[in-house]
Chain A
Amino acid sequence: MPFPPKRGSTVVSVLSRWALPLFLLLILLCAVRHRTDGYSAFLEGAAESLRIICQILPPVVGLMIGIAMLRASGLLSLLARLLAPVTGWLGMPAELLPLALLRPISGSGGTAILADLLKAYGADSLVGNMASVMAGSTETTFYTLAVYFGAVRISDSRYALKAALIADAAGILASVFVSRLFFS
């Protein structure tokens, strides 16, 4: 029984690890009570996943090519070094800057950068963990605005963009701080 929490981390780690299993059980029990055909529902959801992957494939491939080239040419290190004073002051490893900047612009781009960071620094590193948290706390801003306001032909979005960017910035800063707290 994996009850004594591993890695000596305590309540936090246990909660995180049990959240998903409990959530899954909750779903299944509700399905039973509601007399839903769980298997069919599962298949529908799985089929939807195929559609999603097909949709994100071109942008993910495209952006990963871009990122690979940025890394291999040395341009990424150059940019990181130039911006080091800013990110150092925030406590954010410079490698996360592309993620912080690109994620509000492109969801698939952000995912691609996260994948690249996990591959390059390992999923257990501070960089890997912080990048995961950062990716989880922010979402595409410009695209969402364009879709939602475009759908109803709104031309004056007033403070929507400002508020959304403030939310993104808060999420990014919070993830730097919270990750340091949890993972180092």
Chain B
Amino acid sequence: MLNKIWMAMVTLSLLYSMINGTAPETVSAGIASCSDSLTLLVTMLGMLCFFNGFLRIADNAGITKGIARLLRPLLGRLFPDVPQNSDGFRFITMNFTANLLGMGNAATPFGISAMERLEKQNLQKGTASHAMCMLVVLNTASVQLIPSTILALRMNYGASDPYGIILPVWICSLVSLTAGILAACRFRRKEEALW
């Protein structure tokens, strides 16, 4: 899908620029953006090292496990079909906690392991169970305590108050998460009412 989008962006821009006579400027802008991107990525590298470094300390210091324990009651209510002492539940908890701490790359393997366990428990193989749908919703609604990439970008572009967005982001992420959870539960009830 990204293929179609990117091809459309570049092709249509080029075509349109030829119609309105800005073709040379458009191509130069494209080329100039490359050095901008590099500068951006290098600055981001520095800031990401800062944040990811601290988050790794958090992880090694057992904060991840601590947060996971706090989340058990909540996650238990969201995944009523998954036994709380199962591996599947444990993976779900670690996945959510990793996302919370902004460690997306750690979250994904946990998420996949969780899916595998859920599929084993699944009575209808090949069809998503409610727990699977809920897990996916939890992963697509970004809830991060510290949105490090965005902070890094804001600092790079000279924001006078880079952290000012943290509280708004928390609020909006919660709204997004709640909406997704409610929608999933509602769809489930509708489907099961039809049986």
Seen from chain A, the residues whose Cβ lies within 8 Å of a Cβ on chain B are 6-7, 9, 12-13, 15-17, 19-20, 23-24, 26-28, 30-31, 33-34, 36-38, 41-46, 48-50, 52-53, 56-57, 59-75, 78, 102, 104-106, 109, 111-112, 114-115, 118-119, 122-124, 128-129, 132-142, 144-145, 147-149, 151-160, 162-164, 166-171, 174-175, 178-179, 182-183
Chain B residue with minimal CB distance to A154? B128
Main secondary structure of the interface of B (DSSP, over half): helix
- The answer to whether A136 touches B173, judged by C-beta atoms less than 8 angstroms apart, is yes
Query: Smallest CB–CB gap between B137 and chain A, Å?
Result: 5
Query: Smallest CB–CB gap between B141 and chain A, Å?
Result: 4
Q: A41-B56, A119-B36, A149-B136 are in contact. Are A136 and B48 (CB under 8 A)?
A: no
- The answer to whether A74 touches B157, judged by C-beta atoms less than 8 angstroms apart, is no
- The answer to whether A164 touches B180, judged by C-beta atoms less than 8 angstroms apart, is yes
**Neighbour of A167 across the interface among B31, B126, B154, B179, CB < 8 A:** B179
Query: Smallest CB–CB gap between B114 and chain A, Å?
Result: 9
- The answer to whether B10 touches A65, judged by C-beta atoms less than 8 angstroms apart, is yes
- The answer to whether B62 touches A160, judged by C-beta atoms less than 8 angstroms apart, is no
- The answer to whether B128 touches A132, judged by C-beta atoms less than 8 angstroms apart, is no
Cβ of B165 under 8 Å from chain A: yes
- The answer to whether B30 touches A44, judged by C-beta atoms less than 8 angstroms apart, is no
Q: A111-B149, A138-B176, A167-B177 are in contact. Are A151 and B187 (CB under 8 A)?
A: no
- The answer to whether B150 touches A135, judged by C-beta atoms less than 8 angstroms apart, is yes
Q: Which of B55, B135, B136 has the largest number of chain A CB atoms within 10 A?
A: B136
- The answer to whether B153 touches A136, judged by C-beta atoms less than 8 angstroms apart, is no
- Not counting A61-B33, A75-B17, a sample of 18 additional A-B residue pairs whose C-beta atoms are within 8 angstroms of each other reads A28-B57, A30-B61, A41-B53, A41-B56, A52-B52, A59-B2, A60-B40, A65-B10, A105-B5, A118-B154, A135-B147, A136-B165, A148-B135, A153-B126, A157-B133, A162-B183, A164-B141, A178-B168
User: Which of these binds chain A: B18-26, B69-77, B78-86?
Assistant: B18-26
- The answer to whether A123 touches B158, judged by C-beta atoms less than 8 angstroms apart, is yes
Query: Smallest CB–CB gap between B173 and chain A, Å?
Result: 5
B1-32 interface (Cβ within 8 A of A): 1-2, 5-6, 9-10, 12-14, 16-17, 20, 22-23, 25-32
Q: A139-B141, A153-B126 are in contact. Are A69 and B10 (CB under 8 A)?
A: yes
Residues of B within 8 A of A52 (CB): 48, 52, 105
Q: Give CA–CA (A135, B150) in the complex, Å.
A: 8
